[in-house]
Amino acid sequence: MLACAAPAGAEGTARNSEEDQRNLISGLCTTQLADLGASGCTCLAERALSELDENQRAYLILSVVQPDAAEKMPLAKSKEELAAVFNFLGTAHDACVKPGASPADSGAAAPQQPAAGQTTQQ
């Protein structure tokens, strides 16, 4: 469904408005990172707009909807650029799954609670 909304080339994705990119990233997140829930994915999309440049966002989107096109991007050949995208995903995921960033619709809150009669120690 979202793949139909994506342009054919990386350059087209980079030129999409920030609102289009936010919507694409949030929508893709709900299918790829379901544990974040809708508000967590909105959080991740907002962070992507402020923390990733246009080429990094284009790669992030294309890597899901058109992996072959993503791998042809110059960014895909740069270990540093790829590391930046993957580090962003890990950091943003962790930040957006925390309490307050994604309320009750995130399935991540329930497993963090100890079982009845047990306590967690650190």
Cβ count near 41 (within 10 Å): 26
Cβ count near 60 (within 10 Å): 25
**Alpha helices in the chain, H assignment, sequence order:** 10-15, 18-32, 37-51, 54-65, 67-72, 79-97
pLDDT digits (tens, 9 = 90+) for 1-27: 233 344 444 444 445 688 999 999 999
In this prediction, residue 56 has a pLDDT band, given cuts at 50, 70 and 90, of: very high
**How far is it, in rounded angstroms, from Cα 51 to Cα 117?**
42
- Count of alpha carbons within 13 Å of 25, Cβ hemisphere only? 31
Is the pTM higher than 0.85? The answer reads: no
Cα→Cα distances 76→15, 40, 50, 82, 121, Å: 18, 26, 21, 6, 42
